[in-house]
A and B are shown apart, each in its own frame.
Chain A
Amino acid sequence: MSERGIQVSIAQARAGAVIGARPLGIETVRSALAEVMDPELPMVSIVDLGMIGEIVVDRVTGAIEVELLPTFVGCPALAMIETAVASRLAELGPPVRVETTFRIPWTTDRITPSGLAALATAGIAAPAEPDAVHCPWCGSGRVVLDSSFGPTQCRSLHYCRDCRQPFEAMKPV
């Protein structure tokens, strides 16, 4: 039950380099975040999962603020992700603040097309209501829901009647 919101003090040596420099662009920050993978779904970045809300770079100080949107309220990987985000952004130089928030609720609609493709390659089907889920291995729609509760909070368990393989799907929220 850690207190959310991590304040990272950047090495003082670097602070000097920032003064007078142009603030970083949002896309530079986003590219750095795209290197942070989800610990429970290591094939997908947190950017592709849609876990990044607003990114703000202060025009004067260059300080970076990033909103992190938890996939589930009680996601046990959250503290790891917060730390990973803070330390990756710290490499950029300016002060960093990561705020975990429910201001924008994370939904499965936020997963990007490349995120969905990476999940499918790992055998995890795209989020859909149970009767609309398709097998990530053979593409068949003849699948059954075994359980809404899988190995992590965000995944459900299914079985494909055509290729006879069990598989997981992202649970639509």
Chain B
Amino acid sequence: MTGTVAAPPTTGLADLLLSMADDEFVIGFSDSEWTGIAPLLEEDVAMSSIAQDELGHAAALYGLLARLAGTDPDAIAYDREPDAYRHCRLLDHGRGDWAMTIARRFLYDSADSVRLDALAGGGWAPLAELVGKIRREERYHRMHATAWLDRLARDDGEGRPRLIAALETLGPDAATVFAPLPDEPALVEAGILEAPMLDLEVRWRTAIEPVLIEHRLPLPPPMRQPDRARLDHGQPFRWLWGEFTSVRRADPGATW
């Protein structure tokens, strides 16, 4: 029961925490846009609950980062310019329709699950402990995404073509979750990350391809521009950033 976090074994840890926190933060905010307008009442509740989980994961990851850096988690979450966020390009397409949301959740949840598995036994206890807890929650997100993927893929109305269109739009960016991180070899060396990100990408493709093939859905092509995968956020993210920082910017330094 110590209140302090041990010194980080590598500088790459901060990049890893920031990329994961920003991923969870951005997908959480995107999902929260469905609150009140989802196709079914149960989905209003489900998407809101999933968004709440993801924002909670982001808060905890920003909290670890803030303790390493001696800063404030809210400042990391809200006080950066859009270009300083390090979420992956898969999450930069805007909310889109319901099929787009399900396709994004399926691709992201399956990738995030592989990434979490590779961190759960890791050599830095504060992260490994948090990941151990997060994994138990993410299981329900995967069940939800897979059930909806199945439902839309079997739909003989507009659901299936919309799902295919969404997977074709998101596919080229799906693997950006696994874009190599700057100090990644040091993270692997320190036992924090079990294997290099590109190995994790292979595991992820092995996991999802049978599901997509069974439904005759398009497989994600190879990742475009892996070195820019967490940079160059476009207009949809700038709009989202304007939304999620608006209250903070309206009265900087306000306390609640």
Contact = CB atoms under 8 A, between A and B. Distances in A.
A101 B1 CA distance: 9
A72 B53 contact: yes
A81 to B, nearest CB: 14
A33 interface: no
B179 to A, nearest CB: 24
A7 B74 CA distance: 20
Contacts of B136: 105, 107, 173
A1, A4, A65, A105 interface centre (most CB from chain B within 10 Å): A1
B45 A147 contact: yes
B96 to A, nearest CB: 21
A76 B51 CA distance: 12
Contact of A3 (B45, B73, B77): B73
A153 B130 contact: no
Given A72-B53, A74-B55, A102 B1 contact: no
A103 B129 contact: yes
Given A56-B1, A74-B55, A102 B49 contact: no
Contacts of B42: 146-147, 149, 157
B89 interface: no
Interface string A11-54: 00000000000000000000000000000000000000000001
Interface residues of B, number: 35
- Which range contains the number of A residues in contact with the other chain? 20 to 34
Interface of B is mostly: helix
A146 B41 CA distance: 11
Interface string A56-97: 100000000101001011111000000000000000000001
Contact of A73 (B1, B57, B74, B125): B57
B32 to A, nearest CB: 12
A173 B137 contact: yes
A109 B250 CA distance: 44
Interface of A: 1, 3-5, 54, 56, 65, 67, 70, 72-76, 97, 99, 101-103, 105-107, 146-151, 153, 157, 171, 173
Query: 3 closest Cβ contacts across the A-B interface?
Result: A74-B56, A149-B46, A149-B49
